[in-house]
Amino acid sequence: MHDTLSIDATTGLLIGARQVLSPHADERPPGVLPSLLVVHGISLPAGEFGGPWIDRLFCGNLPATAGAGFADIAGLRVSAHAVIRRGGEISQYVPFGARAWHAGESSYQGRAACNDYSVGIELEGTDLLAYTDAQYDSLAQLIRALCAAYPTLSSARLVGHSDVAPGRKTDPGAAFDWPRLRAMLA
C-alpha cells in the first residue's frame, strides 16, 4: 500500500499521513515512553464506513443528531493516534509521543491507565466484518515504523482494546486476524 512509512521523531508525526490533529490529547506522564500498541475497531454510524464522522468525533465536533447513536457519543472527549480506513489510508490525530485518549479505563499486565504508555490505532471496521488486505498492509507498515521510531515499542507488545478493557470493550473483535498480522510482522 505504502512505500516504507516513517515517523519524524521530533514531532511524532507520520510523514506523508493525513493530519487531523485532535484537541483530545495531552502529554504523557514525565519519563513515560510508549511501550504498548493497542488495536481498536471503529465505525460511525455503527457498521457504516467512510464519511467525516470519525474525524468529527476525535476533534470534538460530532453533531448529536447526524447519525444513529451519535447523541450518546457526541460529547465524548476521545481520540486515537491514528485511524486506518478500509482502503488502507492512514489519518493521524495525535502525535505518537503524546497521550491519546483511546483506551479509557484500562490495564495491561497489572499496569493501569494504558493511555499513559500506549499507542492507539483504530481500524475502520466492526467486530464481525473482515478487515481488508489494505488495512493489514498499512497496519503492519505502521507498526514497523513505530517500532523503528520508538525502541520502547515492540510487535511482541501488541494487543486489542478488548485485552486492556475486558468486559467493557470487544474490539477489534473476532473478525480481526491476529495470526495474519503477527506473521506479517515476523
Lowest model confidence (mean pLDDT) among 1-5, 59-63, 142-146, 157-161: 1-5
Check whether 138 has a pLDDT greater than 80.
yes
Q: What is the DSSP code (8-state) at residue 114?
A: G
In total, how many domains does the chain have?
1
Catalytic-labelled residue, pool 27, 48, 89, 122 = 122
Question: How large is the average pLDDT for residues 144-166?
Answer: 97
Query: Under a CB-based contact definition with an 8 Å cutoff, are residues 46 and 128 in contact?
Result: no
The torsion angle over the Cα atoms of residues 24, 55, 65 and 128, rounded to 10 degrees, is -100
Specify if 2 maps to a domain.
Answer: no
Specify if 1 maps to a domain.
Answer: no
Check whether 116 has a pLDDT greater than 70.
yes
Specify if 25 maps to a domain.
Answer: yes
Alpha carbons 118 and 35: distance in angstroms, whole number: 6
Alpha carbons 93 and 180: distance in angstroms, whole number: 26
CATH of the domain at 92: 3.40.80.10
pLDDT of residue 4: 85
Candidates 12, 77, 80; CA nearest to 42 is: 80
Q: Is 122 designated active site?
A: yes
Query: 15 lies in which domain range?
Result: 7-185
Q: DSSP states of 9-44 as a string?
A: TTTTEETTSEE---SSEEPPPTT----EEEEEEE-S
pLDDT in tens, 17-54: 999 999 999 999 999 999 999 999 999 999 999 999 99
SS3 content of the chain, % helix, strand, coil (to 5): 25, 20, 55
Check whether 133 has a pLDDT greater than 90.
yes
Which residue is listed with cell 473478525?
175
Task: Please state the pTM of the whole predicted model.
Answer: 0.97
Alpha carbons 186 and 172: distance in angstroms, whole number: 21
